[in-house]
Amino acid sequence: MTDDVPVAVRDEIARAVLHALANHGYAGLTTKKVAAESEKSEAALFYHYDTKDDLVVAFLEWAIDRSTGRLTNLDAEDPIDELTIACEVLLGDADDELDRGINVAMMELLSHAPHNERFRALLTDFERAEIETLATIIDRGIDAGVFRSVDSTATAAYILMTTDGTAGAVMALGLHDVGEQVRDRLFSYIQTEIIAGNRSH
């Protein structure tokens, strides 16, 4: 795989991989099926990427960059608002086709990660980076006196695992009622266990 693929090309190919994964799953994914979702020929794909897994890694890197950017560029100064918005971002928007597609595709690849070192490394680093981002928000809230003195890393991990599982159930299975129930409980947890005193979000 080349390191100098133009940004526009990477974006187009990543979206093609996304649609191909959604339609065929990883087991049924081929470069021909990726090309069918793109304006580029199969030969053009091979010009930039050597294997099917190279294409999938390119998609993962693109999806991770998108998700990381959304989580680290929150439009909030107050730690309470910042944590609230972060949770909304992590829960995702089931009505957003791109958000839903990326979530389902990531879940598909997660199931193959135990058997694919490249997928596992990328996804593991991504999850740990998200935990670190959440922990940093929580630490800021603790320092500002608006959050209780909780274990920020453990709390961040709990929030991430909750939002990951909820987003998966909603995006892949359409369990919107369950998603709303978990969302309510998550924000109740933040209110009672994280936010200090009588402050509210």
13-45, pLDDT tens digit by residue?
A: 999 999 999 888 899 999 999 999 988 888 988
- On whether residue 188 sits in a domain, the answer given is yes
> How much is the average pLDDT of 173-189?
95
* In the predicted structure, residue 197 carries a pLDDT above the cut 90: no
- On whether residue 69 sits in a domain, the answer given is no
Token output for 24: 């065929």
Q: Residue 127 sits in a domain of what CATH number?
A: 1.10.357.10
- On whether residue 67 sits in a domain, the answer given is no
* In the predicted structure, residue 198 carries a pLDDT above the cut 80: no
Angle, CA of 71, 74 and 78, to the nearest 5°: 125
Please tell me whether residues 108 and 169 are part of one structural domain. yes
- On whether residue 152 sits in a domain, the answer given is yes
Please tell me whether residues 102 and 155 are part of one structural domain. yes
Cα-based distances in Å from 10 to 37, 54, 57, 66: 14, 12, 11, 13
Distance CA 200, CA 90 (A): 20
Closest C-alpha among 91, 90, 106 to residue 22: 106
Q: Which residue has the higher pLDDT, 132 or 8?
A: 132
Closest C-alpha among 115, 11, 9, 5 to residue 63: 11
Token output for 178: 């369950």
Please tell me whether residues 115 and 199 are part of one structural domain. yes
Q: Residue 49 sits in a domain of what CATH number?
A: 1.10.10.60
Domain stops at, among 12, 31, 60: 60
Q: Which domain holds residue 86?
A: 74-201
- On whether residue 118 sits in a domain, the answer given is yes
Token output for 110: 């997660």
- On whether residue 66 sits in a domain, the answer given is no
Contacts of 69 (CB under 8 A, 6+ apart): none
Indicate the number of domains in the chain. Answer: 2
Contact call for residues 71 and 54 (beta carbons, < 8 A) = no
Please tell me whether residues 110 and 81 are part of one structural domain. yes
- Confidence class of residue 200 from pLDDT cuts 50, 70 and 90? low
Please tell me whether residues 40 and 100 are part of one structural domain. no
Please tell me whether residues 159 and 184 are part of one structural domain. yes
Please tell me whether residues 84 and 145 are part of one structural domain. yes
Please tell me whether residues 133 and 46 are part of one structural domain. no
- On whether residue 170 sits in a domain, the answer given is yes
Please tell me whether residues 173 and 89 are part of one structural domain. yes
For the chain, percent of residues with pLDDT exceeding 90: 68
- On whether residue 68 sits in a domain, the answer given is no
